[in-house]
Amino acid sequence: MPFAVLLAIAELPEGDLRRGLAHLQAAELLYETSLLPDLEYTFKHALTHEVTYGGLLQERRRELHARIVSAIENLHRDRLAEQIGPLAHHALHGEEWDRAVRYLRQAGLRSMARAAYREAADHLEHALEACRHLPESRGTAQLALELRFELRTSLAPVRESERMLGVLREAEALAC
């Protein structure tokens, strides 16, 4: 996680945050993954991350993810396209449904452009999941239809014909 994002969500003065991170590094729980262009930290072991994350109440997790989305948007407002992956992830887990749909769709389309079709399908399926939480409207129905067509497009190259057929049936039901 970039230091700037940690600082934005930590609710601590910068000095206290730096001391806390140094303490976690000394205990070999965290390490710096990047110094340039931005200082970033990650857990040393996946299990440490899982235990820490699992120890948070669901509502607190949701709140932190939502705050991370806002922090990334504020810190990188001129370069949001570079942050689509983290934005999509945190918006989905932060239950920021509008933003989750937007960022997951962008991540899916970006993955398709790189010919990463399975990754694209995952993003687009999550976008559809988030779309189900939006208020019902003509615009939401249109968006859900468009997402299904984009999902179909990502499934064709990986020969997922059964899934593709299911998505097209859902689109047909929406269109009627």
Task: Note the pLDDT tens digit of each residue in 17-76.
Answer: 999 999 999 999 998 998 777 889 999 899 888 888 888 788 999 999 999 999 999 999
The whole-number pLDDT of residue 74 equals 95
Average pLDDT score over residue span 147-176:
92
Taking the model in full, what pTM does it have?
0.85
Q: Tokens representing 76?
A: 């990188």
Nearest Cα neighbor of 70 from 31, 106, 103, 30 is 103
Distance of alpha carbon 51 from alpha carbon 36, whole angstroms: 29
Q: How much of the chain exceeds pLDDT 70, in percent?
A: 100
Model pLDDT for residues 107-119, shown as the tens digit of each residue: 999 999 999 999 9
8 A C-beta contact, residue 100 and residue 92: yes
Average pLDDT score over residue span 78-87:
95
Distance of alpha carbon 87 from alpha carbon 73, whole angstroms: 8
The whole-number pLDDT of residue 103 equals 98
Q: Read off the pLDDT band of 132 (50, 70, 90).
A: very high
The whole-number pLDDT of residue 48 equals 86
Average pLDDT score over residue span 4-11:
91
The whole-number pLDDT of residue 109 equals 97
Say whether pLDDT at 176 is over 80.
Answer: no
Nearest Cα neighbor of 91 from 119, 128, 52, 64 is 64
Strand partners, 34: 40
Q: How much of the chain exceeds pLDDT 90, in percent?
A: 76
Q: How many CB atoms lie within 10 A of CB 15?
A: 8
